[in-house]
């Protein structure tokens, strides 16, 4: 399950890092401290919180931006049935549902709490997972 640093969780929720720290201190967002003053937020808990308290997030993706409609959010559900997977993403006040192949969902590592971008172009929705810095690394 992915974990997110306080700063990245704040960006995804559209709030300040102080707000995320207060949510952690209040026990609203489960977190762990692996050491070195770093606090990591549980991805699944962050997805549940995002669903309940939606706010828009900035698109962290470096993939081409030819599509006009991009919904950055957290995966809140993945239902796999044979060949297909139904992926649900909470992006701010929007819930985006996409049907993709089960193989694609597996290759993208989509699971509740994962960061994803739903790219809507015409009648198709394309899902991608942006590259994120590992814990302890700084984002450029």
pLDDT beyond 60 at 4: yes
Q: Cα(1)–Cα(119) distance, rounded to whole angstroms?
A: 23
Pick the CATH number of 69-128 from 2.120.10.30, 1.10.1740.10, 2.40.50.100, 3.40.50.2000: 2.40.50.100
What average pLDDT score do residues 32-38 get? 85
What average pLDDT score do residues 7-31 get? 90
Higher pLDDT, 68 or 116: 116
Q: List alpha helices for 1-140, DSSP H.
A: 6-13, 17-25, 43-52, 102-108
pLDDT at 137: 60
Average pLDDT, the chain: 84
pLDDT at 68: 66
């Amino acid at each position: 399950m992915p974990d997110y640093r306080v700063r990245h969780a704040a960006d995804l929720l559209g709030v300040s890092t102080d707000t995320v720290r207060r949510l952690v201190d209040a026990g609203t967002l489960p977190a762990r401290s692996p050491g070195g003053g770093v606090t990591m937020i549980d991805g699944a808990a962050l997805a549940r919180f995002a669903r309940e308290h939606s706010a828009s997030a900035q698109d962290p993706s470096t993939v081409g931006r030819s599509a006009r409609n991009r919904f950055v959010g957290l995966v809140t559900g993945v239902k796999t049935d044979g060949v297909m997977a139904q992926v649900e993403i909470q992006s701010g006040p929007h819930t985006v549902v996409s049907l993709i192949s089960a193989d694609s969902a597996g290759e993208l590592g989509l699971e509740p709490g994962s960061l994803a971008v739903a790219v809507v172009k015409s009648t198709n929705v394309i899902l991608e997972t942006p590259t994120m810095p590992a814990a302890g690394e700084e984002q450029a």
